[in-house]
Amino acid sequence: MIETSTDQPAAPALQAAVDSLDVAVEHLIKLVDDGALGDLGAFGLVDTLQSLEKVRNKLPVVDRAMIQYGTEQGVPATLSERTERLALKSELAMVKAAVEAAEGRPDDARQRLKALGTTLRQSGMVLHELERRLLVLRIDREDGRPDVRAGAAALEKDARARGAGLIASRAVPPL
């Protein structure tokens, strides 16, 4: 199983090579920004472009090796496992909030969903966050809150912008 980012740093020599490449590319960008291309004639420009292309063509070899090694070490499964756990926790929290609201405890439900929203935003789980917002709107509507229509319009707009048409259509009043 692959080590997680908190277990140990990348191999020092490999990390140093990546850092050196980053510094070299940043230096190249600065030279270009500062007008170094003007110092090249037509043939110098072509030679430089060919040299750059040779370097660029070597990077996929490193990419391929890293992807193959990561796959052999189970990295995709490890990474997706965390996301799957969070997705399940999110679904459970939303079910609990719906139950709390149905039991006449909408404030408890909102508090649970507020805490979940922070986690989902930090994790980048956009669709779950949109679903969470839809549930908050439904609870607010049942509780008679006045700002439901504006919240629904904002959710519809956000959902459409993120390609979540089903959520957008469910956000359109009446909820």
Would you kindly state where each structural domain of the chain is located, as residue ranges?
12-73, 84-171
Q: Does 175 score more than 70 pLDDT?
A: no
- Is residue 2 within 8 Å of 70, Cβ to Cβ? yes
For 165, counting Cβ atoms within 10 Å of its Cβ (0-12 exposed, 13-18 middle, 19+ buried), the class is exposed
pLDDT in tens, 104-150: 999 999 999 999 999 999 888 999 999 999 999 999 999 999 889 89
Look up residue 86 and give its two tokens: 């969070």
Angle, helices 126-142/106-123, rounded to nearest 10 degrees: 160
* Residues recorded for the chain: 175
Confidence (pLDDT) at 91: 93
Helix ranges (DSSP H) in the chain:
12-33, 42-72, 75-102, 106-123, 126-142, 148-161, 165-171
**174 or 16, greater pLDDT:** 16
Confidence (pLDDT) at 173: 64
Q: Which of 141, 133, 84, 130 is nearest to 113 (CA)?
A: 133
Contacts of 110 (CB under 8 A, 6+ apart): 97, 136, 139, 140
Confidence (pLDDT) at 8: 58
Confidence (pLDDT) at 84: 87
Confidence (pLDDT) at 9: 60
Q: What percent of the chain is modeled with pLDDT above 90? A: 62
Q: Does 78 score more than 60 pLDDT?
A: yes
User: Could you tell me how far CA 6 lies from the centroid of its own chain?
Assistant: 19
Confidence (pLDDT) at 49: 94
